Amino acid sequence: MPGTELRQKAVRGLKLASAATAGKSVLDIVAQLALARMLLPEHFGVFATAQALTGFVSCFTDFAGLKFLIRRKVLDDRAASTIFWFELLLGLIVAGAWFFGAAPVLTALGKPDQIVFAQVLGLWIVAERFMLPRAIHDHAMRFGPVNIAMFAGVVAGSAVLLGSAAAGLGPWTFVAGLIARTIVTSGWLWRAARFVPRLTFDAGIVRELLPFGAPLMATTAITFAYTNIDYIIVGTLLGDRLLGVYYASYRYPHYLIQFNIILNSVVFPAFARADDNEQIARGLRYVTRYAGAIAFPAMIAMWMEGRAIVDWLLGDPEKWAGALFPFQMFTTLAALRLTFTHWGHVFVVRGNTRPLLNAALFNLPAIAVGTWLGARHFGVEGAAVAVTAISFGTIAYCCFVVMKRELDYSYLDALAPVLRASAVSLAVFLALRFLTPDTDAWAFVRLLCGGAAYAIAFQALCGGEMKRLYRNRA
Residue 459: inside a domain: no
Residue 444: inside a domain: no
pLDDT score, position 268: 47
Residue 470: inside a domain: no
Average pLDDT over residues 5-10: 52
Residue 39: inside a domain: yes
Structural domain harbouring 177: 3-409
H/E/C letters for each residue in the chain? CCHHHHHHHHHHHHHHHHHHHHHHHHHHHHHHHHHHHHCCHHHHHHHHHHHHHHHHHHHHHCCCHHHHHHCCCCCCHHHHHHHHHHHHHHHHHHHHHHHHHHHHHHHHCCCHHHHHHHHHHCHHHHHHHHHCHHHHHHHCCCHHHHHHHHHHHHHHHHHHHHHHHHCCCCCHHHHHHHHHHHHHHHHHHHHHHCCCCCCCCCHHHHHHHHHHHHHHHHHHHHHHHHHHHHHHHHHHHHCHHHHHHHHHHHHCHHHHHHHHHHHHHHHHHHHHHCCCHHHHHHHHHHHHHHHHHHHHHHHHHHHHHHHHHHHHHHCCCCCCCCCHHHHHHHHHHHHHHHHHCCHHHHHHCCCCCHHHHHHHHHHHHHHHHHHHHHHHHHHHHHHHHHHHHHHHHHHHHHHHHHHHHCCCCCHHHHHHHHHHHHHHHHHHHHHHHHHCCCCHHHHHHHHHHHHHHHHHHHHHHHHHHHHHHHCCCC
Whether residue 77 has pLDDT greater than 80: yes
Residue 183: inside a domain: yes
Whether residue 1 has pLDDT greater than 60: no
Whether residue 473 has pLDDT greater than 50: no
What's the mean per-residue pLDDT of the chain?
86
Residue 452: inside a domain: no
Whether residue 51 has pLDDT greater than 90: yes
- Condensed to tens digits (0 to 9), the pLDDT of residues 303-352 reads 999 999 999 999 889 999 999 999 999 999 999 999 988 777 777 767 67
Whether residue 281 has pLDDT greater than 70: yes
pLDDT-derived band at 197 (thresholds 50, 70, 90) equals confident
Residue 458: inside a domain: no
- Condensed to tens digits (0 to 9), the pLDDT of residues 363-391 reads 999 999 999 999 999 999 999 999 999 99
pLDDT score, position 116: 95
Total number of domains in the chain: 1
- Condensed to tens digits (0 to 9), the pLDDT of residues 240-278 reads 999 999 999 999 998 887 766 655 555 545 554 555 677
Residue 104: inside a domain: yes
Of 40-54, 98-112, 204-218, 238-252, the range with the lowest mean pLDDT is: 204-218
Whether residue 412 has pLDDT greater than 80: yes
